[in-house]
Amino acid sequence: MRTAGWLMALPFVVAGCDLRGGQIGLVGPAPLPGPPAPLVGTPAPPFALLDQEDRPVTPGKLHGRWVVLYFFPPDDAPACACQANQFTAMLKRFGDMDAAVLGINGESSAMHRYLIAKYGLPMPLLSDPNHAVAQRYGAWRDSPDPGGHVVRSALLVDPAGIIRSHWPNITSTDDLALIRRRIEELRRQR
């Protein structure tokens, strides 16, 4: 079994948090393997997605900045809302490091506008309706359910457009702190 860069398949997945930030145990079958994520140290694959205001966003528009690509399941799920709130609480810290945080899932721009209004999210949410970008970035899993699903995950792209880190299962505020610390570490190395 090839495991480089991936967690080994487990029979069950436990993840999530409630809207107050506490952990809850969502237990279910582990997802089936999906396409591999781009390799750390390689250029980030190009994409063009629409944000919540139907404006196109491409990695090239963010060249020169750190970029966190945050893939998440359908909008307004309890764990999704919790993590969005956690990202919001940490967004100033990411901004202080000149890091853009982009949320990506398959929902429409209208649904993203609703989520942003409901939770006061200050970060852009990008629509990936065919899940092509999620697949390209290793954030899509086939599943017994029709079609498959997005896996809550994140990638860090440096100012030169190179993938520097990949977190295949983002589940808590601690994971967000890991992303922030990784940016700080890489900035010190530059």
| Spatial distance between the Cα atoms of 5 and 24, rounded to a whole number of angstroms | 26
* Active-site residue identified among 49, 57, 68, 80: 80
Per-residue burial over 88-122, b if 16 or more Cβ lie within 10 Å, else e, is bebbeebeeeebbbbbbbbbebebbeebbeebebe
80 among known catalytic residues: yes
Strands (E) located in the chain:
12-17, 23-29, 49-50, 56-57, 66-71, 99-105, 125-127, 140-141, 149-150, 153-157, 163-167
Strand pairing class (49-50; 56-57): antiparallel
Residues tagged active-site: 80
